[in-house]
Amino acid sequence: MDSILKVTNLNLEIPNRTLFKNLKFEIPAHKLTCVTGENGVGKTTLIKHLLQDLDNHFTQHVQFSIQRDQIQYVPQLRNIDDEFPLSIHDFVSLGFKKRILPWNSPQMKTTLTQILTETNLSNIEKQPLGRSSGGEKQRAYLAQALCANPELLILDEATASLDVISKHELLKLLKKIMATRGLTIIFITHDPDLIEQYADYELHLSNQSGTLLKKEGLD
């Protein structure tokens, strides 16, 4: 199996509690892996720890086959209220990290147009993000992450606040983008339907350890 991340014998502690002991797993490249496990098992903490180790070049237990700037993490919670002042277009363009000028270069404008099309946001790009639906917001977060042209996308509970139709739309979109761009996706979720239908692999975390299961993803 071609893997993008290999974890070996990782111990992870928080005050007064061991979250993981001798944790071992691999994340397959160019596949969608759902990370599952009960509330509080440590899914988010684990992902943050893996990224910190990469930031700090701690490679003893955590080995990525890519660089930190090739990874985009889309967090669980965002404080985007109704009055959030940016349009979808302007919010997405904040994803261009290596800007020299305060405005978008012609190259960035072309890339942005492509990404807005890819994420079905072109028709509503001028809409204020704060007034957008949950599904539109999630697509905007995804589009912003794509501006960095990542190899690995990590989404934390991206479908938690979405209705059934929007959840499936987002997952279908993610799988399409994964196939077109040759991405790897790690998707933290509790949703059994989504795992069943879209996961290529499931990393199940419990009892301080993890098991990687191969799934029959339908799409």
Binding stretches for ligand ATP (CB under 6 A)? 14-15, 37, 39-45
Q: Which residues pair with 7 in a beta bridge?
A: 25, 62
Q: Could you identify the residue written with the tokens 């987002």?
A: 170
The residue sitting closest to ligand ATP, measured at its beta carbon, is 45
**Contact status, residue 211 vs residue 204, Cβ threshold 8 Å:** yes
Of the pair 18, 117, the CB lying nearest ligand ATP is at: 18
At 131, phi and psi to the nearest 5?
Answer: -100, 10
**In whole angstroms, how close is the CB of 84 to ligand ATP at the nearest point?**
23
201-206 and 32-36 beta bridge pairing: parallel
**In whole angstroms, how close is the CB of 93 to ligand ATP at the nearest point?**
29
**Contact status, residue 128 vs residue 83, Cβ threshold 8 Å:** no
Of the pair 43, 89, the CB lying nearest ligand ATP is at: 43
Instruction: Quote the CA–CA distance of 25 and 2 in Å, as a whole number.
Output: 13
**In whole angstroms, how close is the CB of 187 to ligand ATP at the nearest point?**
13
Q: How far apart are the first and last CA of the chain?
A: 20
Q: Could you identify the residue written with the tokens 């969608």?
A: 32
Of the pair 46, 121, the CB lying nearest ligand ATP is at: 46
Instruction: Quote the CA–CA distance of 129 and 80 in Å, as a whole number.
Output: 8
Of the pair 124, 194, the CB lying nearest ligand ATP is at: 194
Helices (H) and strands (E) counted in the chain, each on its own, are 6, 9
**Contact status, residue 3 vs residue 190, Cβ threshold 8 Å:** no
**In whole angstroms, how close is the CB of 203 to ligand ATP at the nearest point?**
12
**In whole angstroms, how close is the CB of 166 to ligand ATP at the nearest point?**
20
**In whole angstroms, how close is the CB of 205 to ligand ATP at the nearest point?**
7
Of the pair 30, 48, the CB lying nearest ligand ATP is at: 48
Of the pair 95, 210, the CB lying nearest ligand ATP is at: 210
The distance from CA 43 to its chain's CA centroid, rounded to whole angstroms, is 13
